[in-house]
A and B are shown apart, each in its own frame.
Chain A
Amino acid sequence: MGPPTAQFRRVAARTGPAVTLRFDGVSIAATAGDSVLAALLQHGTLLRRLEFGAEPRAGFCLMGACQDCWVWSSAGGRIRACTTPVAEGMELFAMPQASFDRPAEESGRG
């Protein structure tokens, strides 16, 4: 196979307002009505890194059951990509961001 490009391939056009979101700092063009998962996988092959070992994940059941497609949002939590519609200005990440990166040694151990 060639270098990883996109996982999903759109075969039915969607019409509607253009929406721009960012994933790991990269702008992604989508259309209102797209799920976050479909938007991200049309431009890449990965949604998140597993908490335990950082292996790549990109969802599995696509119907809100398997809970595999939670991506980090700038709002400080996670959203389930397959059931969340895109919204203008969404800022999403495959890994947790700075506010959670503080080493426990600094903040916790007494």
Chain B
Amino acid sequence: MADPVIVGAGPAGIAAAEVLCAAGLRPILIDEGARAGGQGYRRPAESLALDMARLMGSEARKYAALHRRFEALLPRIDYRPGTLVWAIDGDTLHLLRDGRAETLCFDRLLIASGAMDRIAPLPGWTLPGVFTLGGAQVALKDQGCLIGSRVAFLGSSPLLALAAKQYREMGAEIAVIADTTALRAKAAALPALLHAPRTLARGLWYMAASLRAGTKMLHGAVPVAIEGSERVEALLLHDARGRERRFACDAVALGYGLKPETQLADLAGATFVYDADFRLFLPKIDGMGRARPGLYLAGDGVRIGGADAAEASGALAAHAILSDLGRPAEIAVTRRLARRVQRLRDFQRGLARAFAWPRAQIAALDDAVTLCRCENVTVGAVRASMARDLGPAEVNRVKAITRCGMGRCQGRVCGPALQELVAAECGGDGLAAGRLRGQAPVKPIALAAAMDGS
């Protein structure tokens, strides 16, 4: 029997490796990143004089603990950083390490591939100086840099206030925090958020901190454009009362919550179902994270739940592996983990309702706006293709005809907005618009990678 393989060394992957090690197994932990921790608990290189304890705030203790636990694990696992899984074919992982292709066979595969920001385009969003909200945090944690000196935070997410707080503390001027969801819509979703009061309190505290610091915070903002010729110069929007507001800035952090990176789950044969709250197609899993025999999914890569849920779901999926290997079930532990995962994911579901994905804004985008930044496809090109006789009415066909989602990122960035636009043009729901199918390679690979070996 081969050792279990875990893809992704964030909180989910590390917690899973811990459980498997404790049971006497030696998992193979593959990670695309050079250092463990994933995106949220990313650890800067030693050479960077960054006060992570201060930056991580209330999460500092967990952050430090996760990295301590990972270091304790290191001698007992086969850790392969800097390794991309670019395809999955049956029971074989196709890897890219140091620019070379190699393969790895598995019996049991746990994918904890994490998440990235979900993006709604607006005029000017391809300008230099516009980054994802997660990217703004990566610049800080990974490189000790701010994405600009005067930064606007735009989107709909509690992370807008969190990132703005970190940026302000590190010396950035905050041009505005502009959340596209109205305050009353957030209030209406409060009951669901009570599932995780501590997290809620933290979210409110960030907002309060922003207000105390005199930062302009708008709810119910309607983005108009990011202005600038060669770089960001200002964010233009309408406030909740419909007044035009212009905020001079040299950078914009953009994010509408997170979306799971499901490409590998797709290639590994997971079944997808449409989730009406998140308005995304998500892999189908059982209560412990099983997607099909031998395939387990955990963390934000399968359901957005945050770092705590990722850890618990990673541990839970590892218990599923052990149970499927015929090890005695630890019923009390798995029940506790399952409850915890459920509670935290319910909370995120509440957040997804509270911090709304801006469907109407996407449906109303001007034809001239770039939708696919890889292939330079506009909103208008997608609409025009669909409006023709025998035009496409489903995302994969729209992609085939217009090249939207066909470029280097394989629709990671434009996919959710494309799906929403197609849904709007069909007058149907997101389910009817269909799901962009994942294809190998999940990230670009150079011809040279194929030259030696394999």
| Touching chains A and B, CB distance < 8 Å | yes
Q: List A contacts of B127 (CB < 8 A).
A: 56
What is the total number of residues of chain B having a CB less than 8 Å from a CB of chain A? 57
- The answer to whether A12 and B49 touch across the interface, beta carbons within 8 angstroms, is yes
Check: A63 CB closer than 8 A to any chain B CB: yes
Q: Please, what's the 1-or-0 string for B229-267, where 1 marks a CB less than 8 Å from any CB in chain A?
A: 011011000000000000010110000000001000000
Check: B319 CB closer than 8 A to any chain A CB: no
Q: Name which of A21-29, A64-72, A100-108 contacts chain B.
A: A64-72
Q: List A contacts of B140 (CB < 8 A).
A: 11-12
CA–CA, A64 and B408, complex, Å: 11
CA–CA, A14 and B50, complex, Å: 9
Q: List A contacts of B228 (CB < 8 A).
A: 1
CA–CA, A108 and B283, complex, Å: 47
CA–CA, A14 and B413, complex, Å: 31
Which of B44, B171, B375 lies in contact with A11, CB distance below 8 A? B171
- The answer to whether B128 and A56 touch across the interface, beta carbons within 8 angstroms, is yes
Output the residue of A14, A31, A51, A65 with the most chain B CB within 10 A. Answer: A65
Which of A7, A15, A70 lies in contact with B47, CB distance below 8 A? A15
Query: Smallest CB-CB separation from A39: which chain B residue?
Result: B143
What is the total number of residues of chain A having a CB less than 8 Å from a CB of chain B? 45
CA–CA, A82 and B42, complex, Å: 14
Q: List B contacts of A4 (CB < 8 A).
A: 230-231
CA–CA, A103 and B69, complex, Å: 57
Query: Smallest CB-CB separation from B409: which chain A residue?
Result: A67
Query: Smallest CB-CB separation from B412: which chain A residue?
Result: A65
* A71–chain B nearest beta-carbon distance, Å: 13
Q: Please, what's the 1-or-0 string for A36-59, where 1 marks a CB less than 8 Å from any CB in chain B?
A: 011001100111001111011111
- The answer to whether A66 and B144 touch across the interface, beta carbons within 8 angstroms, is no
Which of B32, B233, B413 lies in contact with A1, CB distance below 8 A? B233
Q: List B contacts of A32 (CB < 8 A).
A: 47
Q: List B contacts of A77 (CB < 8 A).
A: 446, 448
- The answer to whether A67 and B126 touch across the interface, beta carbons within 8 angstroms, is no
Which of A7, A15, A55, A66 lies in contact with B148, CB distance below 8 A? A7
Main secondary structure of the interface of A (DSSP, over half): loop
Q: Given A7-B148, A12-B49, A35-B143, do A58 and B129 touch, yes or no (CB 8 Å)?
A: yes
CA–CA, A65 and B408, complex, Å: 9
Q: List A contacts of B250 (CB < 8 A).
A: 1, 7
Check: A10 CB closer than 8 A to any chain B CB: yes
Q: List B contacts of A62 (CB < 8 A).
A: 131-132, 134-136, 138-139, 142
- The answer to whether A8 and B139 touch across the interface, beta carbons within 8 angstroms, is yes
* A2–chain B nearest beta-carbon distance, Å: 9
Q: List A contacts of B136 (CB < 8 A).
A: 62
* A67–chain B nearest beta-carbon distance, Å: 4
* A38–chain B nearest beta-carbon distance, Å: 4
Q: List B contacts of A82 (CB < 8 A).
A: 138
Query: Smallest CB-CB separation from A12: which chain B residue?
Result: B144
Q: Given A7-B251, A56-B230, A60-B132, do A66 and B146 touch, yes or no (CB 8 Å)?
A: no
Q: How many residue pairs, one in A and one in B, have C-beta atoms under 8 Å apart?
A: 154
Which of B132, B139, B375, B376 lies in contact with A38, CB distance below 8 A? B139
Q: Which residues between 65 and 101 of chain B lie within 8 Å of chain A, taking CB atoms?
A: none
- The answer to whether B132 and A68 touch across the interface, beta carbons within 8 angstroms, is no
Which of B135, B148, B375 lies in contact with A61, CB distance below 8 A? B135
Which of B49, B145, B171 lies in contact with A8, CB distance below 8 A? B145
CA–CA, A63 and B412, complex, Å: 12
Which of A15, A35, A61 lies in contact with B116, CB distance below 8 A? A61
Q: List A contacts of B149 (CB < 8 A).
A: 9
Query: Smallest CB-CB separation from B44: which chain A residue?
Result: A12
- The answer to whether A57 and B126 touch across the interface, beta carbons within 8 angstroms, is yes
Check: B437 CB closer than 8 A to any chain A CB: no
- The answer to whether B374 and A67 touch across the interface, beta carbons within 8 angstroms, is yes
* A70–chain B nearest beta-carbon distance, Å: 7
- The answer to whether A58 and B49 touch across the interface, beta carbons within 8 angstroms, is no
- The answer to whether B48 and A33 touch across the interface, beta carbons within 8 angstroms, is yes
Q: List A contacts of B348 (CB < 8 A).
A: none
Query: Smallest CB-CB separation from A1: which chain B residue?
Result: B233
Check: B45 CB closer than 8 A to any chain A CB: yes
Check: B391 CB closer than 8 A to any chain A CB: no
CA–CA, A38 and B136, complex, Å: 12
- The answer to whether A11 and B233 touch across the interface, beta carbons within 8 angstroms, is no
Check: A91 CB closer than 8 A to any chain B CB: no
Output the residue of A16, A66, A67 with the most chain B CB within 10 A. Answer: A66
- The answer to whether B47 and A14 touch across the interface, beta carbons within 8 angstroms, is yes
* B107–chain A nearest beta-carbon distance, Å: 28
Q: List B contacts of A31 (CB < 8 A).
A: 47
- The answer to whether B147 and A46 touch across the interface, beta carbons within 8 angstroms, is no
Query: Smallest CB-CB separation from B136: which chain A residue?
Result: A62
Other A-B pairs, 8, CB within 8 Å; known A12-B145, A67-B412: A7-B129, A8-B148, A9-B171, A14-B45, A34-B143, A47-B128, A62-B139, A66-B373
The 7 closest A-B pairs by CB, nearest first: A12-B144, A58-B128, A62-B135, A67-B408, A38-B143, A12-B50, A52-B376
